[in-house]
Amino acid sequence: MISNDDNIIITVKKEICKVKDITELNLLKVKYLGKKGYITLQFLLLKKLNIKDRINKSVILNNQKKQIKLIIKKKLEELKFNKVNKQFIKKQIDVSLPGKSIELGTEHPLNSTINEIESFFIKLGFKIVAGYEIEDVFHNFDALNIPQNHPARTQQDTFWVNKNILLRTQTSNVQIRVMEKFSPPICILTSGKVYRNDYDHNHTPMFHQIEGLFIDKQISFINLKETLLLFLKSFFSKKCQIRFRPSYFPFTEPSLEIDIMNKKKKWIEVLGAGMIHPNVLKYVNLDSSIYSGFAFGLGVERLAMLRYNLNDIRLFFENDVRFLQQFKLNNFI
């Protein structure tokens, strides 16, 4: 017989008061709401009733089912809450203890070097641009007046993807793309990763370069020299000793390299520069009889090693926390 009173609800409430954990609660749930539970069996008995009684009894059963579900849900929330409280009490947290401090990281010395160099040239009117690290032969070699038989084109010096695509060997590719797209005056600075097949305490397969380009009418060697002197004295020291010496680069003519005197009284090369070669201007359809300019390039790691008195470039990439923590207070500056 199907009861139309609340006896079953009272019974459920009495039984659920004895439940101590979720396992017992699940057993009680199966007993009343499972496939072979009380409510399911009561619904099966409806088949023996006439239509009128069937409707009345089904309303009663559905109401009982909802109430039982609500009772079980409240008990489940209570058990979960009690479980969390017990775990909290077991931990015996001493709220009077000082909290654990989270130490702040520090900017990587290469990033700080790049940011400082860019900040200096921005003040001189240079615009910061970026370019592709995967480049084609034309923009990496041909347009820079680098001969077909130049050693840099061999697999011993360059990482080739295929016969026409490679990992750029210098950031000069950005200069070519800018000169193709924009008309003078052009005054840009570009920084980024470059790749060369070399590895020792002074070289890594990937390193960072910064290059500057200035093209306009009546740009002379004096403009180049004074710009770089101003930068080096700002970056290192006004008292640092600097020397210019002639050199050779396929994309500049005349070309030069700049050295500074280190603490051991030895000359160390810091950057290369020169006046833009007429052939390079020709490749980007600029008239060398009207326009001239200068370009310079420097290795970020080289400058950082000199500034912080380091003797192994690989320290920058080993992610040794002990090494990086030394730069937190700029101890080397």
Residue corresponding to tokens 């020299």: 225
CA distances 76 to 22, 25, 37, 88, Å, are 7, 7, 19, 19
3-state secondary structure of 196: coil
Cis bond before residue 250 (omega within 30° of 0): no
Q: Mean pLDDT throughout 301-315?
A: 86
Q: Which range has highest mean pLDDT (139-148, 192-201, 220-229)?
A: 220-229
With the CA atoms of 110, 259, 332 and 114 taken in that order, what torsion angle do they form, in degrees rounded to the nearest 10? Answer: -20
Tell me phi and psi for residue 93, to 5 degrees: -70, 130
pLDDT of 124 over the 80 cut: yes
Checking DSSP bridges between strand 242-249 and strand 165-167, what pairing results, if any? Answer: unpaired
Q: What is the pLDDT of residues 184-203, one digit of tens each?
A: 999 999 999 999 887 776 77
Percentage of residues in the chain having pLDDT higher than 90: 36
Mean pLDDT lowest for which of 61-70, 183-192, 194-203, 235-244?
Answer: 194-203
Backbone φ and ψ for 316, nearest 5 degrees, come out as: -70, -20
**Which residue, 301, 300, 282, is CA-closest to 292?**
282
Highest mean pLDDT among 45-49, 94-98, 166-170, 313-317: 166-170
pLDDT at residue 279 tops 50: yes
Token code pair at residue 134: 């995967």
Q: Is residue 153 scored above 50 in pLDDT?
A: yes
pLDDT in tens, 7-27: 888 888 888 888 888 888 888
Residue 74 C-beta-side C-alpha neighbours within 13 Å: 10
CA distances from 100 to 26, 66, 268, 324 (A): 41, 49, 46, 22
pLDDT of 2 reads 45
* pLDDT at residue number 92: 66
